[in-house]
RNA sequence: GCUCCCUUCGUCUAGUGGUUAGGACACUGGCCUCUCACGUCGGCAACAGGGGUUCGAAUCCCCUAGGGAGCGCCA
């Protein structure tokens, strides 16, 4: 019980039915109900309340890295009684897709990461971005640039050759380019001084303005760029804490400069380290599941994934298992580690198994059905599914595995597991099997109970003057197909009398055939 | 190339100048036992390297190495 000792002192025990039936596990079908209208209207909310946002770009699925960032944003907002907003950064019209948006919403819903506002779509806020850009232009804080891609490319190559960092040289800064000629708009970055990113995780990170250049904030097609739209949104949406991947740390000084040009105070920043694959390399498709809904499909419980994710880069003493309530209470963004961490499926499996065996069987019943269906099994054709779950939950790491190891309760298996049959279905097992079969046949259906079954097996062992194992193991292989299952009495109860007799006959035939071969 | 970030068992981490460097997963040995699993008891295993500062450094400073990110009309 050591591992669970942490709950003894907590007000909110982890495995309460309330936690597991709290409606966090609906499928994506309900997502659409969540999509309120997305045109953000600035409101006069109290400036002091914590507001975080998760701002994915819809160019793929919600992957585990994004999910953890979203979780941190969610936890931080909840901890401080603030709001968590979801914003879809779809300004890249080429790569953004509606399917990706749906996949992200589906992932958020499955994980139960409820947002208070949004989703807001940046593509619906272009007017606002353009107004900000025009204002910057009017105030001389931005300028038009008509440098050709060729000139820019040559500049880059020359600078690299001179071992310099490639930067825009300000060529168009003083030129007065007509608004009618094709152009982009660049932000006039301060030429000198230092911008300090006061990061909640990294600490103070100073950047020299001389390292930065005049970045493009409006493309030639009129669309605003990322660094501009994020800044405008974060300001308009009154985001107080920007929690995001540390690949954005280098963008932050530029964003702070734009924010200041707009007359806003920068929010607090927290750059969380990235998640690596098992092998320490950047997470990618070849590491298997990267999309969170793939974990759902593979039979992981959302609370297990969340628990796994929260412990990646964060910890609270020696505690490993956290309910959502405990995470909200204990999590603090400032406690997050600086170093990247590797995703370890073994540990996720362990957590999932822990949650599986402590979960309410009624809920697992519901979640397990699709996995059984996938195997072509209809639970109505056999024992109560909750009974099977109670017997098997500690034996499976995932719902998928739980379905696989429980299939024998609902249908005859095709073949014996080779190693198990070889070891247990031998000539020496014939007599015990025949004896036990005869005893079972005499049992009335109403005597097919756990107690009677236990006694019957024990009596056969006694009669034959052999160990329990010499009877139970051949019997187990006979009725399950392999040498692993719940206790033999429980297993018999689940399989039922008819199937038991039928399968023992099959095992006896197998032994006979095998004996003939030898 | 330049700028910035990072570095404790295989992995996730505890640790904030004095610890036999703790826990968890994995691996492994025992117990429990009709099997498997659970549970339980034990074992293996780490401060990237080098210089300082200090009576004393995983902890503070510097250098090196290794890893990562950014330097786009991507986000």
Catalytic center residues of A: 285
Percent of chain A with pLDDT over 90: 76
- The pLDDT of residue A514 is above 90: no
Does the C-beta of A287 come within 7 A of strand B? no
In 3D space, the residue among A58, A126, A121 whose CA is nearest the CA of residue A86 turns out to be A121
Could you tell me the sign of the dihedral formed by the alpha carbons of A176, A178, A182, A185, in that order?
A: positive
pLDDT at A2 over 80: no
Q: Are strands A341-342 and A275-276 parallel, antiparallel or unpaired?
A: parallel
Judged by C1' against the alpha carbon of A488, the nearest nucleotide is B34
User: What is the pLDDT at residue A288?
Assistant: 66
Q: How confident is the model at residue A364 (pLDDT cuts 50, 70, 90)?
A: very high
Query: Is residue A316 helix, strand or coil?
Result: strand
Rounded to two decimals, what is the model's pTM?
0.88
Nucleotides of chain B in contact with protein CB (under 7 A) are 1-8, 10-14, 22-26, 33-41, 67-75
Determine the Cα–Cα distance for residues A287 and A285; give it in Å rounded to an integer.
5
Q: Over the stretch A460-492, which tens digit does the pLDDT of each residue have?
A: 999 999 999 999 999 999 999 999 999 999 999
Look up the ipTM and state it.
0.95
Distance in Å from B20's C1' to A350's CA comes to 30
Let me know: does A305 contact A348? Beta carbons within 8 Å.
Answer: yes
**A200 SS3 class:** coil
Question: What is the layout of strands, in order, in the sheet containing A184-187?
Answer: A142-145, A184-187, A216-218
pLDDT score, position A453: 94
Residues 222-281/A with CB within 7 Å of nucleic chain B are 223, 225-227, 246-251, 273-274, 276, 280-281
């Amino acid at each position: 019980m050591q591992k669970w000792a942490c709950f003894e002192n907590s007000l909110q025990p982890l495995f309460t039915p309330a936690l597991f039936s709290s409606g966090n596990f609906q499928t994506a079908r309900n997502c659409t109900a969540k999509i309120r209208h997305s045109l953000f209207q600035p409101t006069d909310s109290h400036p002091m309340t914590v507001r975080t946002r998760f701002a994915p770009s819809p160019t793929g699925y919600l992957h585990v890295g994004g999910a953890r960032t979203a979780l941190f944003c969610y936890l931080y907002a909840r901890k401080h009684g603030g709001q968590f907003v979801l914003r879809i950064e779809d300004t890249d019209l080429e790569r953004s897709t509606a399917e990706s948006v749906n996949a992200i919403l589906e992932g958020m819903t499955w994980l139960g990461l409820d947002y208070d506002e949004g989703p807001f779509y940046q593509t619906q806020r272009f007017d606002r971005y353009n107004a900000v850009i025009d204002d910057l232009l009017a105030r001389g804080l931005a300028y038009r640039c008509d440098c050709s891609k060729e000139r820019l490319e040559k500049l880059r190559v020359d600078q690299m050759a001179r071992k310099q960092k490639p930067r825009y040289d300000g060529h168009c800064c003083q030129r007065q380019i007509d608004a009618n000629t094709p152009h982009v708009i660049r932000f006039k970055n301060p030429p000198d001084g230092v911008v300090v990113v006061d990061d909640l995780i990294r600490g103070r990170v100073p950047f020299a303005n001389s390292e930065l250049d005049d970045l493009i904030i409006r493309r030639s097609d009129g669309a605003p760029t990322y660094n501009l739209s994020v800044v405008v949104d974060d300001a308009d949406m009154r985001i107080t804490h920007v929690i995001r991947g540390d690949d954005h740390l280098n963008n932050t000084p530029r964003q702070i400069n734009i924010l200041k040009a707009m007359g806003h105070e920068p929010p607090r920043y927290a750059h969380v380290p990235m998640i690596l694959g098992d092998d320490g390399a950047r997470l990618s498709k070849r590491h298997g599941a990267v999309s969170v809904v793939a974990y759902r499909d593979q039979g992981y419980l959302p609370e297990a994934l969340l628990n796994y994710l929260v412990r990646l880069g964060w910890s609270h003493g020696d505690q490993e298992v956290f309910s959502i309530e405990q995470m909200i209470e204990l999590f603090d963004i400032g406690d997050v580690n600086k170093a990247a961490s590797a995703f370890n499926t073994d540990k996720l499996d362990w957590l999932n198994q822990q949650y599986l065996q402590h979960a309410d069987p009624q809920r697992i019943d519901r979640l397990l059905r699709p996995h059984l269906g996938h195997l072509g099994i209809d639970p109505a054709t056999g024992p109560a599914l909750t009974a099977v779950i109670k017997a098997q939950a500690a034996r499976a790491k995932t719902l998928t595995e739980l379905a696989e190891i429980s299939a024998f309760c609902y249908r005859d298996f095709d073949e014996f597991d080779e190693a198990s049959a070889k070891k247990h279905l031998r000539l020496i097992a014939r007599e015990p099997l025949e004896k036990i079969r005869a005893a079972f046949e005499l049992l009335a259906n109403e005597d097919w109970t756990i107690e009677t079954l236990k006694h019957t097996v024990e009596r056969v062992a006694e009669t034959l003057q052999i160990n329990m194992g010499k009877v139970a193991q051949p019997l187990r292989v006979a009725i399950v197909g392999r040498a692993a299952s719940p206790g033999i009495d429980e297993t018999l109860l689940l399989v039922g009398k008819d199937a038991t007799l039928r399968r023992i006959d099959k095992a006896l035939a197998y032994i006979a055939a095998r004996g003939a071969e030898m």
